[in-house]
Structure formats: structure tokens, C-alpha cells
Amino acid sequence: MISLAEENYLKAIYSLNQIQQGGASTNAVAEKLDTKASSVTDMLKKLSEKKLVNYTKYQPASLTNRGMAIAIDVIRKHRLWEFFLVEKLKFKWDEVHEIAEQLEHIRSSALVDRLDSFLEYPKFDPHGDPIPDKEGRINKIHDTVLSALPIGEEAHIVGVKEHSNSFLQYLDAVKLVLGTRVKLINRFEFDQSAIVQIAGKENITISFDISKNLYIKFI
């Protein structure tokens, strides 16, 4: 039996190993879960005993196949619930993460299957993150960002790299939501800020911090 705390550790280790930067070091996991390094060491030992995590003292941790399957299952539930909250209950995309953090721990495979079917098997969550299927297969995560769009070219916004509420609210305010078509009008070398045309209409200026956190797909 996997506890709620254990599920959260597995998810944290998974996501730290996705973004390539030192992987799941003790401190990185502690930071991610807002806990202390000593607590992480305790848990890594336990998860290692349970054969869910590969762990050797003083080294970053990684997931075993079993650990990976559990992490992906939790992520599947998180993203399906986020989709449900936005599509059916009409929450905004900056309001769902916290609730999904709770819902992702509900244990019932029948529930997940039926929810998936009720939602008509969505492929992406409200933030553009891919939803793993029943077998744990997961689409490659987006990798091209708006800051890499050449001047004069067009693309669609397909996801966000940064998930903070303030970022999501900013995007709502300037109408840079998922699905929006954008054209790169100009980019300034000085600070990499850019002028972007939104949905074939108005032009706005966005900072590098914005454009490097928006995933796009070329048209």
C-alpha cells in the first residue's frame, strides 16, 4: 500500500528527473515538496526498501519501473481531474491545481477509467500538459517555446512551462491562452522582449520571461 506522502514523493522525483538539471537530489526534492532535507532522506530510504526508488547515499534518486508506473498513474489522475474541473465545473485554469493535488490521491481504478470516458479521453490538461493513458503511455512533452519563434513566423500557444497562478492570470489578462494564434512581429536584442500579434489582431509586447515559458507549435 502506497501512502499519500509516498505518492507525492514519487511524483516529485518523477518531475525532477524530467527537467534535466541535476535530477532528484535530496535538496531538490525537499524544495519541491516544501519539506526538510532530513525528511527526504528518511523517505528515500523507505521508498528504496519498497523498490520504488533507486537510491544510494549522497546520490540523486530515480524511479524504478514500479515507482514510475505509480507516479504516472498519479499524474494521470491529477491532469484528468484538472480537465474535469475546467471543462465541466467551469473553474479557471489558475484555480484547479490545488484541488487536483487532493483529488489525485483518490484510489479507484474504476473511477479513473469512467472519468476518462466521461471526459471523452482528453489528451491534454488545461495547461497543455499531456494526460497519460490507462496503460501509462504519455505524449512527449512540448519542447518549443515562444522565445524560439523566428521573427515573422506564426504559431499556436499549446502549453505553459511555468504553472504559477500569477503567470496564468497574466496570460488570461493579455489573452495569451491555450490555442491562441500568435505571430512574432519583432524581437529586441537588448532584453529579448518581443512584440507579438495576438489572434491576427492587436500587438502586445512581452518580456523574455513570458515568451520562454510558453510552449508553441508552428503553424
Partner DNA sequence: TAAAATTTTTAGAGTTGCCTAAAAATGATT
Partner DNA sequence: AATCATTTTTAGGCAACTCTAAAAATTTTA
Rounded Cα distance, 79 and 188, in Å? 36
CB of 17 to DNA, least distance (A): 14
Q: Name the phi and psi angles at 155, rounded to 5.
A: -160, 170
Per-residue mark of binding to Mn ion, 53-92 (x: CB under 5 A):
-----------------------------x----------
Asked if 87 touches its own copies (CB under 8 A), the answer is: no
Residue 45 sits in the site that holds DNA (CB under 7 A): yes
* Residue recorded with cell 473511477: 111
Give the nearest distance from C-beta 178 to its own copies in angstroms. Answer: 21
Q: Is 57 in the site for its own copies (CB under 8 A)?
A: no
C-alpha span between 160 and 112 (Å, rounded): 25
Our finding on whether 106 is near DNA (CB under 7 A) is: no
Question: Which lies closer to Mn ion via its Cβ, residue 97 or residue 187?
Answer: 97
Check residue 27 for interaction with DNA (CB under 7 A): yes
**Distance (Å, whole) CA 167 – CA 217:** 20
Binding string to its own copies for residues 95 to 124, with x set by CB under 8 A, is what? x--xx--xx--xxx-xx--xx--x------
Q: Which of 7, 94, 116, 125 binds Mn ion (CB under 5 A)?
A: 125
Q: Give the residue from 166, 170, 144 showing the smallest Cα distance to 157.
A: 144
Q: Is 168 in the site for its own copies (CB under 8 A)?
A: no
Q: Which of 91, 124, 167, 208 binds its own copies (CB under 8 A)?
A: 91
- 109 Cα distance to chain centroid: 22
Query: In 3-132, which residue ranges form alpha helices assigned H by DSSP?
Result: 4-18, 26-32, 37-49, 65-87, 97-103, 109-118
Residue 135 zone, left/alpha/beta (φ > 0; ψ -120 to 50; rest): alpha
The set of cell numbers assigned to 57 is 547515499
Q: Which of 69, 76, 82 is nearest to 2 (CA)?
A: 69
Residues that bind its own copies (CB under 8 A): 85, 88-91, 95, 98-99, 102-103, 106-108, 110-111, 114-115, 118
Residues in contact with DNA by CB under 7 A are: 3-6, 25-28, 33, 35-46, 55, 57-60
Residues that bind Mn ion (CB under 5 A): 82, 97, 125, 127, 129
